[in-house]
């Protein structure tokens, strides 16, 4: 076989390899990030984490398994997607045969509302915080504390919470990679407090 054809065969073989192999760490898989696109005239956002995913706008937390170039999704709903990557775009084929092109979205662009955050400071009772649409927030001590209402506002990585009626302010630094909020203090004497995004509760 002429050398040109041998190189072409090697290139085709390399392109045909699955995007994830047994030697690559699971957390390094290129699928594990946020992907945005549109389907049936509506925005579609798929947010993949270690073994869970969010179908944003539906606010569903689902489990998924990868099988070569397929994703089996199960939870409140169940479906299968075939996917492949072309020039850092994710192409997803639905069970109905529709192909959707999706682009990656940076971690700082991820929505913060619609989720709960849990954690505690050293020696303190755990705290649960909920961020809602429209800058509305609330928090309570776990397991059965009373909800305290307030507001939140975000400037890049800094999120400011103002709790009413006393206008008590908490300031957090958002860690998008770790899906965490880092506070120097929340409740009096709590010290450094880390709240992590709770996808299941």
111-144 in b/e form (b: 16+ CB < 10 A) is ebeebbbbbbbeebeebbbbbeeeeebbbbbeee
- 198 closest CA partner among 117, 133, 107: 117
Domains 18-105 and 115-198 share a fold: yes
Please write the tens of the pLDDT for every residue from 121-145. Answer: 877 889 999 988 888 999 999 988 9
Rounded to 5 degrees, what angle do the CA atoms 163, 166, 167 make?
A: 50
CATH class of the domain comprising 115-198: mainly beta
**pLDDT at position 81 over 80:** yes
Pairing of strands 136-141, 127-132: antiparallel
**pLDDT at position 119 over 50:** yes
18-105 carries CATH number 3.40.190.10: no
CA distance 125 to 58: 32
Q: How confident is the model at residue 21 (pLDDT cuts 50, 70, 90)?
A: very low
- In the chain, % of residues over pLDDT 70: 77
Among 76-85, 89-98, 109-118, which is the least confidently predicted range?
109-118
**pLDDT at position 83 over 90:** yes
Which residue did the predictor score with more confidence, 129 or 2?
129
Which residue did the predictor score with more confidence, 96 or 24?
96
Q: How confident is the model at residue 90 (pLDDT cuts 50, 70, 90)?
A: very high
Domain ranges of the chain: 18-105, 115-198
Mean pLDDT of the chain: 77
């Amino acid at each position: 076989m002429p050398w040109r054809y041998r190189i072409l065969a090697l290139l085709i073989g390399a392109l045909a390899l699955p995007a994830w192999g047994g030697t690559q760490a699971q957390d390094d898989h290129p699928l594990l990030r946020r992907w945005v696109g549109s389907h049936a005239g509506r925005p579609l956002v798929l947010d993949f984490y270690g073994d869970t995913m969010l179908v944003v706008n539906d606010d569903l937390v689902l489990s998924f398994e990868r099988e070569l170039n397929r994703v089996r999704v199960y939870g409140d709903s169940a479906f299968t997607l075939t996917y492949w990557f072309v020039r850092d775009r994710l192409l997803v084929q639905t069970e109905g045969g529709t192909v959707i092109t999706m682009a990656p979205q940076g971690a700082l662009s991820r929505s913060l509302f619609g989720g709960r955050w849990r954690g505690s400071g050293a020696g303190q009772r755990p705290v649960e915080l909920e961020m809602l649409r429209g800058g509305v927030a609330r928090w309570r001590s776990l397991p059965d504390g009373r909800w305290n209402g307030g507001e939140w506002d975000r400037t890049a990585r800094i999120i400011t919470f103002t709790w009413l009626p006393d206008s008590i302010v908490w300031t957090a630094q958002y860690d998008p990679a770790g899906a965490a909020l880092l506070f120097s203090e929340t409740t009096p004497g709590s010290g450094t407090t880390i709240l992590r995004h709770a996808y299941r509760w």
